[in-house]
Amino acid sequence: MRFKRLTPASLFLNGLVVVCTLILTFPLVWIVMMSLKQQAEVMTLPPRFVFTPTFENFRVLFDAAQAGATSYGTIKVDFLTPVANSVVISLGAVLVSLIAGVPAGYVLARRDIPRKEDIAFFILGFRFAPALLVVIPLFSVFQTVGLYDTYLGMIWVYQVVTLPMIIWLSRSYIEDIPKDIEEAAAMDGAKPFRVVWHIVLPLLKPGLIGASLLIFLLAWHNFALGLILSSTKAPVTVALLKLLNPGVQFYPVMAAGLVVTMIVPIVLIILAQRHLERGLTFGAVK
């Protein structure tokens, strides 16, 4: 078996890749290590890389009845509630975005409407607008109409983050589908709705799964909207703030919470991996 000879340039590039990988993964590894340490071990200088792992931080995180039986003193987190809130809000935001965004993306891709590009860039502009630009005026409106601290209100306001992305992604996917396929179906007598439902959407499936995963992650990690427009329905990103109290550092418990918030996206990415591997062009050609 012959091995390829490594040149100085290839050695340098390989070393650079290794260094970049270590830099990118170190914060994640450090958070996982913190979640398995005691409070005293976290605050030790220099840091300890060899220690006895403990799962007390995760027990404190999910024990709704916990009130003083830990090394942290009196603490009651009940992290399961904000996790459930985030799941409901994020899934609801994805569902509403798909229902409203895919038809909008289809119109922008297939229909000749006046100032189509201007409309598309106007929609995209909401994605890059500062969150406070939207959330501060909505605060008083939500309180007036009764949408403050409700799932419906949170799902609605999250469309500022998710809907522009799904419109632009679905438009791009639809433009990659040969228009001849739709025209052939129309010549066979298929109505426009049937063409979209039975031809376009099956070809869009791999792309929509990837887009849904992306906007779910955007909704899952959003912080500003949930901070101002929710209280009891606060998502996980806001719930972690409760562990930052003046004079009391619950860093290991917060690290455990961060690990939990990372688990859900990682599981979704693993489950959707086989769908992400199939390209939209492959489906159209097939």
pLDDT of residue 286: 43
How many CB atoms sit inside 10 A of residue 168's CB?
20
Q: pLDDT (tens digit, 9 = 90+) per residue, 167-217?
A: 888 888 888 888 878 778 778 777 877 878 888 888 888 788 888 888 888
Please state, in angstroms and rounded to a whole number, the distance separating the CA atoms of residues 60 and 77.
7
Q: What is the pLDDT of residue 185?
A: 78
Question: Which portions of the chain are predicted below pLDDT 50?
Answer: 1, 65-70, 279-286
Element housing 276 (H / E): helix 273-276
Q: What is the largest CA-CA distance in the chain?
A: 75
Closest CA to 224 of 158, 132, 155, 138: 132
**pLDDT at res. 74:** 57
Find the distance separating the first CA and the last CA of the chain, reported in whole Å.
Answer: 39
Structure pTM? 0.80
**Token pair 């679905």 in the structure block, residue:** 170
CA–CA separation, 75 vs 78, rounded Å?
10
The partner residues of 249 in beta bridges, in order of sequence, read 244
Instruction: Give me Rg for the CA atoms of the chain.
Output: 24
Give the span between the Cα atoms of 231 and 178, in whole angstroms.
48
For residue 189, the model assigns a pLDDT of: 77
Tell me the C-alpha distance between 110 and 147, whole Å: 36
Instruction: State the Cα–Cα distance between residues 185 and 180, nearest whole angstrom.
Output: 9
DSSP 200: I
The two structure tokens encoding residue 38: 């005691």
- Cα–Cα distance for residue pair 171/164, rounded to 1 Å: 11
What whole-number distance in Å separates Cα of residue 74 and Cα of residue 15?
Answer: 48
pLDDT of residue 263: 85
How far apart, in whole angstroms, are the C-alpha atoms of residue 60 and residue 80? 11
What pLDDT sits at residue 95?
Answer: 93
pLDDT, residue 245, reads: 63
Block residue for tokens 């501060």: 136
Which residue is associated with the tokens 């290839």? Answer: 10
